[in-house]
Structure 1
Amino acid sequence: MNEKPDRDDRSSKKLTSSCLYVGGTCFLCVALSILTIILFLSILFAALDVRLGFQSTSFRTLLISVFYAVCVPSISFLAEIIKSLFPWPILLILVLALIAWGPNRIRDLLSSAKFELPGGFKFDGGSAPPDIFRKEMGDAQRAVERANKEIEQAYDGAKIYVSQLRDRYDINKLVGDLALKVADAIGDNCPSDYRLTLYVPDLVFSDRLYQLSEYYDKKGNRVSEGRSGRAFSIRYGVIGRVWRSGVDEIEGELISADDRAQLGSAASGENLDKFIARRWGLTLDEVFKIRPYQSYGAIRLDGGGKSLGVIFFDSKLMNAFGNETLLREKIRSLIRESKLTLSLLEINLELAPWSRIQIFRNL
């Protein structure tokens, strides 16, 4: 009974010694399992007629396969639709119509196009420059029209206020008296068409002169109607030049002898008109209005350290005012004796708090 257990132990040791262990795992058992699986798969593939091996694949061959499997059928499908909807005669007519329409129109059409393609690609041609300019000009035109209406209303109010100022400071009488005294200073040769008026700083714009009074003749009587209330640029004619410079001017010829000598044979007709326009800062239409007046005078009135106004007188006769230098001194003396300068200073102080519109400004 003691020998049987010994035989069992020996058989167990014999079986154990036939395995090859690697880290506690039987290597021979694993190899046998793998071979068994390969054999099973070989029998299965042979039964299903599965070909052995495989073709090598690259990214290029994959793209080609996708192109032929997906893109070509899609393109063919779209081509069939286009051919059915747009036969070639219709396409030919469309091309000819576009050519006749003109490349400029096509460019304008494309430049104003806006579209977005799949993938986030956006095209925004924007509005054609002429359209943008036309729109901006339209907006500016409407803004200017509104501003012009408001300016007209401002001048309407200014005329009412100026009428009150004229009455309060007796401007009409003072200008009439000064016209009479200037005519007396000119002497017996004072022409019958002599006239005098007064300009002051404009009430609305900072770069304009406002005609405060009507014209008065050599007897101090009013000889015009509806001339007061007009506004002129400070760059207009002799009144603008005297206002800006403060230099008095009295001349007996619209075109001086030196200017006529410089012009020579061109001192007539259209060439003369253009010369006057350049010399006096006028338009040709304005030249047509002033050209008959050969003699003129403009003197600035100053007081209290301020420029208060400009008196202006003229005549259609050439050399109508005699000795210009002597007359200038006499008029200066008359202005100092007149109450007109004091009245204009009071008006200027009354209008000082007003803010005027400034259009042009040098930057």
Structure 2
Amino acid sequence: MDEIVKIAHETAWPIAVLTMFAIFVLNLRRIGDAMRRAPLIRKLKFGGLEVELDRNSLDDLKEKTDKTFLELIRKTDSEVQRFANTVSIKSTLRLAGENIKANLPTESQAKLKSAKLRVTVHIFDAVFADHLYQLSNYYYSENSNIFWQSDKGAGRRFSIRYGIIGLAARTEKSQAVGNAFRDIEAREALIENWSMLPEQAAAAGKKPSCLALVLRSPESNEMVGILYADAEEENFFGNNEECLDFAGKCQAMTGVKQLVKALGKLRILTSQIELQFNLTKIGQNI
């Protein structure tokens, strides 16, 4: 496995650079074509360069730029997922979930069916700064023996200002709640303080038990990911105080340690293709 990671590490960056460069050059040609066709109506400034475009040319330019940007994101995500498969993220995540399930409080073991326990993992996004990237679909369990992978979740992006995973990312500390989000005041707080939309706050109310485990490389102490778990039963991981203790115990579980090791390898690989667009700063110097 280490040899595979080394080979992927050595080949990923040149391939990614060539792909991104080709996309960028193609987009420059299209921008130039749009500028040459444009009547002198709207004025844009890029540093010392001043260009005037009409509305149609602007719309055409936006459409082509959107397609190019989306293609760049798609290719970057594809590389991240390829790297994740190389270091066996899915199998280690499933094992971590099995460990968590096996160590639940006794009363929670009997509630697996109604609780709909699920787990996934987030990493820092390679495309956008200050964002988290959901690396895997949810794994979920409704009984004591089976842990299935769902068909949704992977590839989503969240600001580090969003929800309990964002709080864990900002503070770099594991977070846990046992009985949250159920009443109207709590849902309003999710909108006002947790950056959620009303429909997201309503969905959060269905999962009052949540864990967001900060995962660190034992070698560098660098944060390499966040293991997220939730359930539809109150106090499923313990009450608010107990579930934070449970989060600490999870760090010592074999499956979680293996997931940390795999995420450490993934971090080495994804660092070669990071773009880190900062959405809050784009255009500030124009």
Give TM class, smaller chain.
Answer: 0.5 to 0.7
Contact 1:335 1:341 in 2 (8 A): no
Give 3-state SS (helix, strand or coil) of 2:202's partner.
helix
Give 3-state SS (helix, strand or coil) of 2:189's partner.
helix
Question: Paired residue for 1:275, among 189, 207, 225?
Answer: 189
Take 1:151 and 1:220, find their aligned partners in 2: how far apart are those partners? Answer: 40
After TM superposition, the structure 1 = structure 2 runs for residues 255-274 of structure 1, keeping only pairs within 5 Å, are 255=181, 267-268=183-184, 272-274=186-188
Contact 1:176 1:220 in 2 (8 A): no
Larger Rg: 1
Contact 2:92 2:262 in 1 (8 A): no
Q: Deviations over 1:43-71 (max 9, x none)?
A: xxxxxxxxxxxxxxxxxxxxxxxxxxxxx
The 1:337/1:280 distance shift into structure 2, 3 A limit, reads closer
Q: Deviations over 1:261-286 (max 9, x none)?
A: xxxxxx53xx6533221132111122
Take 2:257 and 2:271, find their aligned partners in 1: how far apart are those partners? Answer: 23
Give 3-state SS (helix, strand or coil) of 1:186's partner.
coil
Could you say which residue in structure 2 is the equivalent of 1:165? 83
Greater Cα offset, 174-183 or 209-218? 209-218
Greater percentage in strand: 2
- Measured on the aligned residues, the alpha-carbon RMSD in Å equals 2.9
Take 1:140 and 1:273, find their aligned partners in 2: how far apart are those partners? Answer: 41
* TM-score with structure 1 setting the length: 0.54
The 1:184/1:359 distance shift into structure 2, 3 A limit, reads same
Take 2:59 and 2:199, find their aligned partners in 1: how far apart are those partners? Answer: 24
Amino acid across the alignment from 1:357? F
Question: Paired residue for 1:359, among 276, 279, 285?
Answer: 279
Greater Cα offset, 166-175 or 156-165? 156-165
- Quote how far apart the aligned CAs of 1:144 are: 5.1
* TM-score with structure 2 setting the length: 0.67
Contact 2:134 2:156 in 1 (8 A): yes
Amino acid across the alignment from 1:158? T
After TM superposition, the structure 1 = structure 2 runs for residues 226-265 of structure 1, keeping only pairs within 5 Å, are 226-255=152-181
After TM superposition, the structure 1 = structure 2 runs for residues 48-63 of structure 1, keeping only pairs within 5 Å, are none
- Quote how far apart the aligned CAs of 1:306 are: 2.1
Amino acid across the alignment from 2:216? D
Give 3-state SS (helix, strand or coil) of 1:226's partner.
coil
Instruction: Give the share of equivalent positions with the same residue, in percent.
Output: 19
Q: Any unmatched runs of 5+ in structure 1?
A: 1-126, 128-134, 257-266
Give 3-state SS (helix, strand or coil) of 1:217's partner.
strand
Contact 2:235 2:243 in 1 (8 A): no
Amino acid across the alignment from 2:137? E
- Quote how far apart the aligned CAs of 1:305 are: 3.6
Structure 2 residue 257 is the aligned partner of structure 1 residue 343: no
Q: Deviations over 1:235-266 (max 9, x none)?
A: 1111111011112111111249xxxxxxxxxx
Take 1:137 and 1:208, find their aligned partners in 2: how far apart are those partners? Answer: 32
- Quote how far apart the aligned CAs of 1:319 are: 1.1
Could you say which residue in structure 1 is the equivalent of 2:70? 152
Take 1:181 and 1:345, find their aligned partners in 2: how far apart are those partners? Answer: 20
The 1:320/1:143 distance shift into structure 2, 3 A limit, reads farther
Greater percentage in helix: 1
Structure 2 residue 135 is the aligned partner of structure 1 residue 212: yes
Amino acid across the alignment from 2:87? Y
Q: Deviations over 1:53-99 (max 9, x none)?
A: xxxxxxxxxxxxxxxxxxxxxxxxxxxxxxxxxxxxxxxxxxxxxxx
Amino acid across the alignment from 1:296? C
Could you say which residue in structure 2 is the equivalent of 1:184? 102
Could you say which residue in structure 1 is the equivalent of 2:213? 299
- Quote how far apart the aligned CAs of 1:163 are: 3.1
Structure 2 residue 236 is the aligned partner of structure 1 residue 320: yes
Could you say which residue in structure 1 is the equivalent of 2:27? none
Q: How many residues align?
A: 219
- Quote how far apart the aligned CAs of 1:136 are: 9.4
Amino acid across the alignment from 1:205? F
- Quote how far apart the aligned CAs of 1:294 are: 1.1
Question: Paired residue for 1:196, among 99, 111, 119?
Answer: 119
